[in-house]
Amino acid sequence: MSASPSSEASSSRSASPSRSPSPEFDPSAPIPSESNKQFSDLGISPELCEACKSLGFKKPTDIQIESIPPALEGKDIIGLAQTGSGKTAAFSLPILQSLWENPQPFFALVLAPTRELAYQISQQVTSLGSGIGVRSATIVGGMDMMSQSIALSKRPHVIVATPGRLMDHLENTKGFSLKSLKYLVMDEADRLLDMDFGPIIDKILKVIPKERNTYLFSATMTTKVAKLQRASLNKPVRVEVSSKYSTVSTLLQHYLLLPLKSKDTHLIYLTNELSSSSMIIFTRTVNDAQRLSIILRRLGFPAIPLHGQMSQSMRLASLNKFKSGGRSILVATDVASRGLDIPLVDLVINYDMPTNSKDYVHRVGRTARAGRSGKSITLVTQYDVEILQRIESHIGKRMISFDVDKEAVSLLSDTVAKANREAAVEMRELGNGGKGGKRGRDMGSGKRKFGDDGDDRDRDDDSHEAGMGYQKNGKKNKFSGGGGAGKKKVRR
């Protein structure tokens, strides 16, 4: 199992710098900011400054410094910033300050592309506004419509929603409207539009007041985002704190070149060697996320899966266990790659190479957030070298080769192979079919078929993330390959 990869793959990386032993780093240590500005210097009220302090926000980030003052002046904002830059507080603080001065229900609406991100934004809005009594409601698919209707009847100040489920309530929940809305935020706008939310967003824009403040935040300025900007913003202030879509400077990025056949063994070696770190392991498919989490648990590692074919309650439970430290290893598909802020993720491992550079940036952006240090390791087989080179060209950095003890890896091979066989048996017992699995079933229970919540408008699965297309009849198209092509009509 310690055989080296093909000579062709090795030669293509011969110019890569060799890896010396990794320097020790403290993931929680903040990097000193070049700016001496405080939140109070931006015009934030003492109550909200105290809330920032209680959440550990010592100094404003670049995007906050640039966007908060014009937002407080009542201007529309289009903010472009890399992942982990503090965008949520950048749009939340001006809204909360305005709400404090003029409290009213249904004051602000935040649209997010995924359910997990919506819950996260809602939690941060509630935390920041706790001192001024802010009420928020999270409206996403996969959850009970009636309980959400009750939450809306309580007239919250801030609604955080995915577009599909919000539209359901606007059309079907009696007495609910957004005619008095003062603020609209579209977070991760590029992702919202990539997921074919455009028509729903157009409908939402037609039923909310034209006289409002609009904040549009995105990691990239695509043609779709530019079109949305023209349609929804009024003479916006453009704030761009990162001209290149890249990773942060506090992230140590490594690659590990290995033979495809020993991928699982190398992963277990890494989790064992770096077991003191909290980590997210990203896979391309639901099947691998479920399989690897079972293998890790059987080998004594505290792992838990997260993917789009788990029920929403199970997904939230997995995320909360990881955030609280109940599990230190999260094995996830790209459902977890965008926007989620889990403060103390020390390490990101890419078990599968992402199909495009943007996905790579978002995955590794789960660590080294808010000025902290972090580390990423990408597993590269002999078939992935070209993708690695493309990612390096995109981010403008060369990754560092990560050395392993080949003898130690070889010693693990029999143990990992046994755990893999046991995982296949367990997945068959759950109705997941072992190898390949039945993608139409909920991996967590093996009983509930995907989509049984009747919420086709606002559903999450991983076929989009893995580049799988769906025909109108729901049958899978063939895998479309790199670049995330093969989009399907999906509403989350």
Report the pLDDT value the prediction gives residue 218, as an integer from 0 to 100: 87
For 231-260, what is each residue's pLDDT tens digit? 899 999 999 876 455 677 889 999 999 999
For 151-179, what is each residue's pLDDT tens digit? 999 999 999 999 999 999 999 999 999 99
Indicate whether 200 and 293 sit together in one domain: no
Report the pLDDT value the prediction gives residue 244, as an integer from 0 to 100: 54
Query: Does residue 29 lie within any of the structural domains?
Result: no
Order of all β-strands in the sheet with 251-257: 303-306, 329-332, 279-282, 347-350, 374-380, 251-257, 400-401
Indicate whether 222 and 365 sit together in one domain: no
pLDDT band at 29 (very low <50, low <70, confident <90, very high): very low
Query: Does residue 293 lie within any of the structural domains?
Result: yes
**CA of residue 101 relative to chain centroid, distance:** 33
With a cut of 80, say whether residue 12 has pLDDT above it. Answer: no
Indicate whether 92 and 62 sit together in one domain: yes
- Domain limit, last residue, from 429, 462, 486: 429
Indicate whether 279 and 414 sit together in one domain: yes
Query: Does residue 75 lie within any of the structural domains?
Result: yes
Q: What torsion, rounded to 10 degrees, do the Cα atoms 370, 375, 379, 384 define?
A: 60
Indicate whether 403 and 272 sit together in one domain: yes
Report the pLDDT value the prediction gives residue 159, as an integer from 0 to 100: 98
Indicate whether 186 and 254 sit together in one domain: no
SS3 string of the chain? CCCCCCHHHHHHCCCCCCCCCCCCCCCCCCCCCCCCCCHHHHCCCHHHHHHHHHCCCCCCCHHHHHHHHHHHCCCCEEEECCCCCCHHHHHHHHHHHHHHHCCCCCCEEEECCCHHHHHHHHHHHHHHCHHHCCCEEEECCCCCHHHHHHHHHCCCCEEEECHHHHHHHHHHCCCCCCCCCCEEEECCHHHHHHCCCHHHHHHHHHCCCCCCEEEEEECCCCHHHHHHHHHHCCCCEEEECCCCCCCCCCEEEEEEECCHHHHHHHHHHHHHHCCCCCEEEECCCHHHHHHHHHHHHHCCCCEEEECCCCCHHHHHHHHHHHHHCCCCEEEECHHHCCCCCCCCCCEEEECCCCCCHHHHHHHHCCCCCCCCCEEEEEEECCCCHHHHHHHHHHHCCCCEECCCCHHHHHHHHHHHHHHHHHHHHHHHHCCCCCCCCCCCECCCCCCCECCCCCCHHHCCCCCCCCCCCECCCCCECCCCCHHHCCCCCCCC
Query: Does residue 3 lie within any of the structural domains?
Result: no
Indicate whether 62 and 110 sit together in one domain: yes
pLDDT band at 70 (very low <50, low <70, confident <90, very high): very high
Query: Does residue 60 lie within any of the structural domains?
Result: yes
- Domain limit, last residue, from 171, 206, 240: 240
Report the pLDDT value the prediction gives residue 27, as an integer from 0 to 100: 38
Instruction: Provide CB contacts within 8 A for 324, sequence distance 6+.
Output: none
First to last CA, the chain: 42
With a cut of 60, say whether residue 214 has pLDDT above it. Answer: yes
Comparing 27-41, 126-140, 420-434, which segment has the lowest mean pLDDT?
Answer: 27-41
Indicate whether 405 and 345 sit together in one domain: yes
**Could you give the CA distance from residue 390 to residue 356 in angstroms, rounded to a whole number?**
8
Indicate whether 162 and 256 sit together in one domain: no
Q: In CATH, what number is assigned to the domain containing residue 198? A: 3.40.50.300
For 447-472, what is each residue's pLDDT tens digit? 333 333 434 444 444 444 333 333 33
Report the pLDDT value the prediction gives residue 339, as an integer from 0 to 100: 60
Percentage of the chain beyond pLDDT 70 is 77
Report the pLDDT value the prediction gives residue 149, as an integer from 0 to 100: 97
Q: Domain span at residue 324?
A: 246-429
Query: Does residue 251 lie within any of the structural domains?
Result: yes
Indicate whether 129 and 208 sit together in one domain: yes
Number of domains in the chain: 2
With a cut of 90, say whether residue 480 has pLDDT above it. Answer: no
Please answer whether residues 31 and 371 qualify as being in contact, where contact means their C-beta atoms are separated by less than 8 angstroms: yes
Q: CA nearest 125: which of 200, 183, 175, 80?
A: 183
Indicate whether 264 and 284 sit together in one domain: yes
With a cut of 70, say whether residue 369 has pLDDT above it. Answer: yes
**Could you give the CA distance from residue 490 to residue 34 in angstroms, rounded to a whole number?**
42
Mean pLDDT for 437-452 is: 38
Report the pLDDT value the prediction gives residue 296, as an integer from 0 to 100: 97
With a cut of 70, say whether residue 97 has pLDDT above it. Answer: yes
- Domain limit, last residue, from 240, 256, 280: 240
Please answer whether residues 92 and 130 qualify as being in contact, where contact means their C-beta atoms are separated by less than 8 angstroms: no
Mean pLDDT for 74-80 is: 95
For 13-23, what is each residue's pLDDT tens digit? 433 333 333 33
**Could you give the CA distance from residue 11 to residue 312 in angstroms, rounded to a whole number?**
46
Rg (CA), the chain: 23
Query: Does residue 471 lie within any of the structural domains?
Result: no
Report the pLDDT value the prediction gives residue 476, as an integer from 0 to 100: 39
For 252-295, what is each residue's pLDDT tens digit? 999 999 999 999 999 999 999 999 999 999 999 999 999 999 99
Indicate whether 235 and 261 sit together in one domain: no
For 102-112, what is each residue's pLDDT tens digit? 999 999 999 99
Query: Does residue 11 lie within any of the structural domains?
Result: no
